[in-house]
Structure 1
Amino acid sequence: MAVIGQNLAMRPQGGAPAVRESGPRRSIGEMLVAAGLLKPRDCDWALARQRQHKAPIGHILMAHGLVEEIAFYKVLARQYGALYVDATAFHAQPTALERLGPTFCLQNGLIPIGRMGGAMLIASARPELFEQLRRGIEMRAGPILMAVTTQSQQRTALTAIKSHALVAEAERATAPRESCRGTRARVIIAAAACAVPAAAVIALFRPVEVFTVMTVAALAVLLINTVFLATVAGIGAARAMCRTAHGAPVPAPLPRISLLVPLFDEIGIVDALGRRIMALDYPAELIDLCLIVEAGDFATRAALDRAPFPRWARVVTVPPGTIRTKPRAMNYALDFCDGEIVGILDAEDAPPPDQLLRVAAQFAAAPPETACLQGGLNFYNARASWISRCFVIEYALWFRIVLPGLRALRLAIPLGGTTVYFRRRALEALGRWDAHNVTEDADLGIRLSRYGFDVDILDSVTLEEAPVRALPWIRQRSRWLKGYAMTYAVHMRNPARLWHDMGAWRFAGVQLLFAGTLLGFLLTPFLWSFWLLLPGGWHPWEAALGEAGREAILAVLLGAAFVGAAAQIIAMAMGGHLRLLPFVLLLPVYFAMATLALTKTLVEAIFLPFFWDKTTHGVSQPDPVRQEG
C-alpha cells in the first residue's frame, strides 16, 4: 500500500481543516442538520432522548434509522477536525497493532493504518475517547495522529489480520488453574471414567463383593441426596411463596445491555428469534445485540440476513480454532460488545418484553457484589410429548424451588446457559467463560462463589423449546453430565484451595450438587434391584437382610420417592402445571434415561472431552396455549 498521502487528500472530507480550529466544537446534531442529513424535528427528538437515556447521540440516530453509519462518521470527522478514512482500504500496521494489543484496539475502536510524517495515523471509531487514551498510546507507539473511521470498518479491518489472535485469547481467557483445558483436569476426568469399566471387570471375578459395595454406596448417596433435596426444596418453596414481585424502580438512566446470542446450525429458529427480539421493551440505543455465528455456518448466516432482526443487530463471525464450543464463541464476541451488563440468550428463547427492564431495575437495587442474575425457564412446547412434559416438571422444580433454596442457604448456584445476566466488570474479573467446558454456565457459577460474588434470582421467566424425543434428550443430558464432571474435576484439583476460597459450608454444597448428581445417576441401577423386595419378589440380599433390613431399605426407597414427588408437585403448583400431575408417574423412566446418557458421558470424557453435542432447535412448534395449567 502506498503512503497515505498518495491515497487520500491530506485533509478531512468536506473541506474542514486538518487541525480543529479553536473555539467551541459545533454539536454533531447541528452539523447533521446543516448538511441536510437530519431533519430538525428528528434532531430535537434525538437530543431529548439523549437527555433521557444518556446514550451517545450516534447510537440513538443509527439505532432508529435516522442517519446512516458512514454519513454520521463523515460528519463526526469534520466535528473533530480529523481525516475520515475507510479503514478497510488500508493495511493495518502490524508492529503498532502488536504494541497496542488487538483486544485493546477492538474495545476502544482503534486501528493503526499508516504513518504521516513522523507520526502513526490511527483510525478511531470513538474519537471522544482518543484524547483520554493518547498518552498511553504514545508510550507504546510513539507520536500519533487521529483519523476517524466507522465502527464497522474498524472492526472489519482489525479482524481481517488479527482474528486468529483474538480466537486464541478467547480459548484461553480463563486462568489455567481454573480451566479444564489443562492436562491434569483431563487426566482426572478420564481416570474417573475408566473406573467404571474397571469395576465391571472386577465384578466378573468378584460379583458379590462388587454388587455389595456398589449397592451400599448407592443407598448412602440416595439417602444423602434425599435429605439435601428435602432441605433445599423445603426452604426454597417457603422463600418462593413468601417472595413478592420485585418492586425495584426502573433506574434512570438505564444501562446499556449487551445481548449475546450464540447460533450454530439454527436456520429453523432465527425468524422466530428476530420477532422475539423486536418485541423487547427497552430503548433500542441501549441494546447491543450480538448474534454470534461460526465461520463456515453459511446456512445460519444466510438465514440471519433474511430474518426480521432490528437494524441495530450485529453479526459477529467466530473464526475457526482448536475447539468449537459455545463459551469460546461468547468469549470471542465479548470484545465486540460495549454494554455494562452482559446477557445470554439461546436461539430458541422467547423472553418476556419487560425482561431487560427487570434486569436493569434489579441490578440497580442490588449491592455491587451481586454479579449475576439468573432468570427462570419454562417451555412453549410443553405438550409436544411425554418427554417435554417431564422436562417441564423437572425445570419447575429446579427454577421454582431449588434455586431459591440454594440462594437462601447461601450455597453456590450452578448457572443455566441462558437468561443469565452479568455485570461486565465481574465477568471480566473472573476470566470470562471457560472455553473448553461444555457446561460453562455451571462452572461460572462456582467461580462466582469462589471469588466472593453473589447470584440473585431474576424475576422473569423465558420460554424456550424442550426436547420432545428420547435421543436428543439423551444427547443433551450427556453433555450436561460431562460438563458437571469437568467442572467438579477442575475445582477439586486442589480441594484445600477450594475449601479456602468457599469455606466449609459452600465446599460441602459443591460436593452435594456435583458429586451427588453424578454418583446418583451412576449408582441408580443398583437400587432398581430393591424393587424385587416388594411382596412376591426375591432379592439376593433377602436372607441376609431379614425382615427389619427389608423394611428399612423399602422405607428409604419409598421415602426418597415421596420427597421427590412432593417437591415436584409443589413446584408444579407454583408454576401452574398441575395438569401435568399424571406425568409424575413417568419421571422414574424419564430419569432412567439420564443413566443411559451417563454411559455416553463416560466414553466422551475419555475420547472427546471438549466435544459439544449441540441440541437442534426449531423442531417443535409452540403449543396452542403457551402455559400449562
Structure 2
Amino acid sequence: MRQGLAEAHRQSTVAARALPVEIGFLARHGYAPNALLQASALASFAGIPVDEFLIKGGYIPEQEFYRALASELGLPFTSSPRLSSRAHYPNSILAGLAPAAGQAAGFILAPRGPTLTQLLRTRHPPGGPLLITTPSILARAVIRAQSRAVAYRAAHELPDRRRDLSSLHGASLAQIAALVALALVASFAGVMVPALTIALLGAALSPLFLGLIVLRLASSMLGASVEPTTRLPRQDDAALPVYTVIAALYRERRVASRLVAALSRLDYPPAKLDIKLVLEADDPQTLAVLRRIAMPGFIEVIIAPPGEPRTKPRALNVALPLAQGDFTVVYDAEDVPDPDQLRKSVATFACLPDEFACLQARLTIDNTDDSWLARMFTIEYAALFDVFNPGLAEIGSPIALGGTSNHFRTAVLKEVCGWDAWNVTEDADLGLRLSRLGYRVADLLSAIISI
C-alpha cells in the first residue's frame, strides 16, 4: 500500500516537471497529468496563458485552482479578504496584489499569467505574510474597500480633466442669458410683427434644414452595402488579441440569462475574452438571476458602488479602468450580437489607420411583427445604421454613436476618459468628442439584434 502511494506520488512529481510551471503543481493536487499536458498544448497553439485557458475555458473552477495554488505554496486561502485603505483601484486589481488590513497584515495575492509563473519558479513571494485568493474575489474586495474613490472616478474623471467636454456644469451663465434674450426678442417680435418674424425665422432656418436634407441624400447615394463586398480572412486564434466586453445592467432580470447565453456563443477564444457585466448595488434581483446561471469563466460580475449620477455611462466607467483587452465593445442587456462580430471587428481595425478609434456595428429589431410601431422602429434603424451612418463614415463626418455595439481601441477610449457620466446621450456625446479630438468612426458590417 505504502509502495503504491509512493509510486503514485513519484509519477505525479515526474508529470509535474514535464508540465509548464504555472500548472505543473495541479498534478500533485489530483488533476490528471495527461489532461493538463493536452490543455498546455492547446493553450500554446492559441497563444494563451495556460492558467487562463483552464479557468476561462471552464476546465477548472477558479476557486479550485487558487485553493490548490495556496496548498502548493503552503499559504492560507481566503474567500473574504479584508483590505487596507491603501489598496488602489484599479492597480491592485490589475496587479493581483493588495495590502491586507491591519498592521503587519501582509498582502492578499491573486497571481495570474507571468506573475503566477514567477511566483512558482522562485517561491519567494513579496515580503510580509501572504494570503491567496482569486482574481474575482480580489476585484470585489478592492472595489468595496475603495467604493468612494471608484464612484468619484467613474463620475468625475472627464470633468476633472476636461471640464469643457463634460455636461457636469451644464450651460454657462452667458449661454443661458443669450438664450433668454433671444427668446424674449423672438416673442416680442412675434406679437408685434408676426408675419415679418415668421419670414425671418424661415429664412434663417432654411439653410439648416437644406443642409440636413442634402447630407442625408448624399449619404444615401454613397452606395453603402448591406452585405460585405469582400470576405475578411479568418484569423488564427493565436493572432487574436484579448477583447473586453462591457454591458451595464439595471433591473434586467428578464433578459440577463439571454445576454449571458448570447455572449457565451461569441466565436472567440474564451481565454481571450474579458467580459464584464456591471450591476448597481440596489439591484439584487438581476444579481440573483446571474448567480443561478452557470457563469462561464470569462464573465465577471462587477457591482458598481453607490454614487451620483445614476446613469449608464457612470456604470460603464466603473468597468473601463479594468479593461484588459486591446479592444472594447459595449453591449446593452437585450442585445444578441453576431457570434463572429468580435473577429470581424479585429480584422476591420487591422485594415484601418490608427485614427479610426471606433467601429459602429449595425443594429436591427427582432420584434418587427409585433405592432405597427415596432415596424416603424425597424425602418428607422435600417435607415440610420444601414444607410445614414455608413454614408457619414464614408465622408469622414462625425457620427453620433448608437449606444451599443460600439467597438473601441481601448487605449483611445481610456485616453478620452471614457463616457461622460453627466450626459444621458453618452453615445452621441462620445462619438462627437472622438471627432473633436481628431479620431474617426467607421462602419462595421456586422449585425446586432435588439429587442
TM-score category (smaller protein): 0.7 to 0.9
Contact 1:28 1:76 in 2 (8 A): no
Matched, 1:166 2:142: no
Q: CA deviation at 1:368?
A: 3.2
SS state at 2:157 partner? coil
TM-score norm. by structure 2 comes to 0.83
Q: CA deviation at 1:294?
A: 1.1
- The reply to whether residue 48 of structure 1 matches residue 33 of structure 2 is no
Counterpart selection for 2:84 from 73, 89, 93 = 93
| Partner residue in 1 for 2:436 | 450
Q: C-alpha distance in 2, partners of 1:439/1:27?
A: 49
- Aligned pair partner of 1:121 in 102, 106, 109: 106
Which residue of structure 2 lines up, in the alignment, with residue 274 of structure 1? 260
Residues 44 and 361 of structure 1: CA distance in aligned 2, closer, same or farther (over 3 Å): farther
Q: How many residues align?
A: 425
Tell me the alpha carbon deviations over residues 24-65 of structure 1, each in whole angstroms, 9 at most, x when there is no partner. Answer: 9962332112210x2234313321221122222222212233
| Shift in alpha-carbon separation, 1:426–1:373, aligned structure 2, 3 A | same
**Deviation of 1:185 (Å):** 3.6
- 1:284 and 1:261 mapped to 2: Cα distance? 17
Cα distance change of structure 1 residues 143 and 278 upon mapping to structure 2, 3 Å threshold: closer
Distance in 1 separating the partners of 2:413 and 2:107:
29
Can you list the C-alpha shifts for 1:467-510, whole angstroms capped at 9, x where unaligned?
xxxxxxxxxxxxxxxxxxxxxxxxxxxxxxxxxxxxxxxxxxxx
Shift of residue 351, structure 1, vs aligned partner: 0.9
CA contact (8 A) 2:90 2:322 kept: no
Per mean C-alpha deviation after superposition, the further-off stretch among 161-170 and 188-197 is 188-197
Q: What letter corresponds to residue 78 of structure 2 in structure 1?
A: D
Cα RMSD (Å): 3.2
The Cα offsets for residues 491-536 of structure 1, whole Å up to 9 and x where unpaired, read as xxxxxxxxxxxxxxxxxxxxxxxxxxxxxxxxxxxxxxxxxxxxxx
Q: The residue matched to 1:315 in structure 2 has which SS?
A: strand
Give the 5 Å matches for 1:382-397.
382-397=368-383
1:83 aligned to 75, 87, 100, which one? 75
- Give distance in 2, aligned partners of 1:125 and 1:104: 13
In structure 2, the partner of 1:109 is 96
Letter in 1 for 2:202: T
Counterpart for residue 493 of structure 1: none
The letter of the residue matching 1:169 is R
2:50 matches 1:57: yes
Q: 1:148 to 1:82 in 2, by over 3 A?
A: farther
Aligned equivalents of 2:155, 2:283: Cα separation in 1: 19
The two structures have a TM-score, normalised by structure 1, of 0.61
Instruction: Identify if the C-alpha distance between structure 1 residues 87 and 110 changes in structure 2 by more than 3 Å, giving closer, same or farther.
Output: farther
Aligned to 2:26: 32
Closer, same or farther in 2 for the Cα pair 1:128/1:298, shift >3 Å?
A: closer
In the TM superposition, 1:468-507 aligns within 5 A as none
Tell me how far apart the structure 2 counterparts of residues 268 and 400 of structure 1 sit (CA, whole Å).
29
Give the equivalent residue in structure 2 for 1:217.
204
Name the CA distance, whole Å, in 1 between partners of 2:336 and 2:181. Answer: 42
Letter matched to residue 65 of structure 1: G
Aligned mate of 1:233, from 220, 235, 243: 220
Deviation at 1:406, TM superposition (A): 1.6
* Secondary structure, aligned partner of 1:378: strand
Percent of pairs identical after alignment?
A: 31
Structure 1 unaligned residues grouped into runs of 5+: 1-22, 135-141, 466-629
Q: Which residue is equivalent to 1:568?
A: none
Aligned pairs for 1:106-255 within 5 A:
106-113=93-100, 121-126=106-111, 147-174=131-158, 175-183=161-169, 185=171, 187=173, 198=184, 201-202=187-188, 203-235=190-222, 237=223, 239-240=224-225, 244-251=229-236, 252-255=238-241
Gaps of 5+ in 2: 1-16, 120-125
Any conservation in 2 of the 1:258–1:287 contact (CA below 8 Å)?
yes
Corresponding residue SS for 1:275: helix
Could you tell me which of 385, 407, 429 is aligned with 2:393?
Answer: 407
Contact 2:234-2:343 within 8 A present in 1 as well:
no
Match of 1:398 in 2: 384
Deviation, structure 1 residue 355: 1.3
The CA distance in 1 between the partners of 2:438 and 2:117, in whole Å, is 32
Amino acid at match of 1:282: Y
Deviation (angstroms), 1:376: 0.6
Q: In structure 1, what is the Cα distance between the partners aligned to 2:213 and 2:128? A: 66
Distance 1:193 1:394, change over 3 A: farther
8 A Cα contact 2:22 2:116, kept in partner: no
Contact 1:199/1:210, CA 8 A, preserved across alignment: no
Distance 1:56 1:246 in 2: 30
CA deviation profile, 1:358-412 (whole Å, cap 9, x unmatched): 1232233433333222111111112222222222222222222222222221222
Q: d(CA) in 1 for partners of 2:293 and 2:113? A: 34
User: Contact between 1:318 and 1:329, CA under 8 Å: does it hold in 2?
Assistant: yes
In 2: Cα distance, 1:133 partner to 1:426 partner: 31
Distance 2:133 2:337 in 1: 35
Distance 1:196 1:416 in 2: 32
Structure index of larger Rg: 1
- C-alpha separation in 1, matches of 2:63 and 2:407: 32
Which deviates more, 272-281 or 434-443? 272-281
Deviations 1:114-161 (A, max 9, x none): 5786xx722222265659999xxxxxxx97676532112212221222
* Structure 2 Cα separation of the partners of residues 102 and 390 of structure 1: 45
Secondary structure of the structure 1 residue equivalent to 2:411: helix
Q: Which amino acid aligns with 1:269?
A: V
The code of the aligned residue for 1:51 comes to S
1:107 Cα offset (Å): 2.6
Q: 1:82, 1:146 within 8 Å by CA — same for their partners in 2?
A: no
For residues 575-599 of structure 1, the C-alpha deviation after alignment (integer angstroms, 9 at most, x for no partner) is xxxxxxxxxxxxxxxxxxxxxxxxx
Residue equivalent to 2:8: none
